[in-house]
Amino acid sequence: MSTEHESPSATRAAFVDAARMRRFRLGWVTTVVVLALAATGLGAAGAAQGPRLASGSVNAEAAVSRPAGRIVLDANQPIDDVAASDVTITPSAGFEVTQDGAAVTVRLTGMLDYAQDYTVEVAARSASTGAPGVLRFSFTTPGADVLALQRGAGADGGDRVVRTSLAGSAEVETVFEAPRIQEYALLGRVLVAVVLDADDTPSLVTVDTTNGLVGEVAVGEADGIREVHASPNALLVGFLVDRQTDEGLVSTLAVYDPTDGSGVIREIADADGVPLAARDWAFVPGTGSLVVQTTDRQLYLVDAVAGTEPSPLGSHSELRGFLPGTTTLVVADPDGGTLLDLAAGTSTPLELPTAEVDPHLTLGTVLMLGPDSYVQLLTDPYDSGAIPALSALVRVDAKGTSPLYAPATATSRIGRVCLSPNAQYLAVEVIPGGSGSDLYPAVPGYPDTTIYFVDARDGSTSRGVVGMLPDWC
């Protein structure tokens, strides 16, 4: 049996190693405890965290072109019921709210502004913990392009149709040129235009704006082609054709499908197949149907796609277009106006506030902004000084009558006034004093006419472009 003892230095080393082991074990235990506590804290924090946005979607193009656009916000967890008071849209816009589990749908009741940044916020609560949170979704609406007709501004002094942007620079892009252009309409990528020869004989042509390819529509012998309008949804263009007969000049309404290789137009006829003698007409927005007013002032609703028999809508003196974003037709008669809801098949008297203006002024064009507000053109034939120029625009609503726009020069006057599809802007033709007619048939123009884009709410003017006949008309 050995009686040999460890040296003092070896003994100290053993103690040091043992102490290190104890510290390691203590540190490891402490670390595990800390990590466990941290994990517990993170778990509790996660459980208590309120709802957040998982995804959001919107068709911004549709939101500026028609009502009932949808904005969908998906939460990252189930949420309690959301009320309209829990939702805000900045800048303000009208809406309704529905919910399906973690998905909140905000349905717009109107149309949004062009080129505008919007933020939608939903104050929500977790369905499991009640923890509050905010679903926040931002998007930008597209800007708007506008076409205009410039006479005498094309190559060799001809006419041209140009495209410009409301929000961009003052630069324009030439879409189509011809020696003499009477009017036009845009149908997707196809421009349809009435061109005139030196004797004012009209032709209807189509222009593919992507490659410049020009084709002619077989209208037949015509003394005039006018009131050209397009329905992008139905891929149809419509127009009035004037022909001289033994009974005098007769106008009929025809439609044409540029995608139809036959190139044949179709006249709108009555139940016996006799073309209707048309006085005025308009496409029903967003559809392939149209309303035609005959020379005896009877109105008919026609499905131009199906080609069905015209449905009578009664007799009315004047068509005043549709309420923005709807299929509700505004008509006027000597004893008042009427709203014809073509979708519901109902008729409602139009009760509008009266424009409070100087009695020396003449009341002109009326543009409906909604069921209870409108813009009206005033002219001053006696130069009474009641308005700052020969003509001006006022806005009339429940708050009263307020000045909206007048040309900067006292001798200038307002020509056509047309509303943007989302009812945000007015396109206002301003004709300078002393400008004489160019004597074009059906759609005469005036040199140096400028189109100004006016905010329909406050009258502010964003910019202008030289030209006439904006494609909003």
Q: Which residues contact 22 (CB under 8 A, 6 or more apart)?
A: none
Per the domain annotation, does 40 fall within a domain? no
Per the domain annotation, does 64 fall within a domain? yes
Per the domain annotation, does 188 fall within a domain? no
Per the domain annotation, does 74 fall within a domain? yes
Q: How far apart are CA 182 and CA 468, in angstroms?
A: 11
- Supply the pLDDT for residue 6: 45
Per the domain annotation, does 455 fall within a domain? yes
Boundary-marking domain end, from 140, 161, 179: 140
- Supply the pLDDT for residue 328: 98
- The mean pLDDT of 385-393, rounded to a whole number, is 92
- The mean pLDDT of 263-286, rounded to a whole number, is 95
pLDDT band at 469 (very low <50, low <70, confident <90, very high): very high
Residue 362 has pLDDT above 90, yes or no: yes
- CATH number, domain with residue 71: 2.60.40.1220
- Supply the pLDDT for residue 290: 98
Per the domain annotation, does 130 fall within a domain? yes
- How many residues are there in the chain? 473
CB 405 within 8 A of CB 358: no
More confident: 420 or 12: 420
Boundary-marking domain end, from 140, 164, 186: 140
pLDDT band at 48 (very low <50, low <70, confident <90, very high): low
- The mean pLDDT of 409-432, rounded to a whole number, is 96
* Identity of the amino acid at 67: P
Looking at the DSSP assignment, which residues form a beta bridge with residue 21? Answer: none
Domain that residue 74 falls in: 53-140
Residue 219 has pLDDT above 50, yes or no: yes
- Supply the pLDDT for residue 37: 39
Angle, alpha carbons 386-392-398 (nearest 5°): 90
How many structural domains does the chain have?
A: 2
pLDDT digits (tens, 9 = 90+) for 192-204: 999 999 999 999 9
More confident: 177 or 13: 177
- Supply the pLDDT for residue 11: 39
pLDDT digits (tens, 9 = 90+) for 120-150: 999 999 999 999 999 999 999 999 999 999 9
Per the domain annotation, does 148 fall within a domain? no
Boundary-marking domain end, from 140, 170, 192: 140
Evaluate the omega torsion of the peptide bond into residue 91 and state whether it is cis, within 30 degrees of 0. Answer: yes
More confident: 381 or 227: 227
pTM to 2 decimal places: 0.86
Question: Across the chain, what does the average pLDDT equal?
Answer: 90
Per the domain annotation, does 99 fall within a domain? yes
**Region of poorest pLDDT, from 120-124, 152-156, 318-322:** 152-156
Residue 156 has pLDDT above 60, yes or no: yes
pLDDT band at 383 (very low <50, low <70, confident <90, very high): confident
Q: How far apart are CA 161 and CA 149, in angstroms?
A: 5
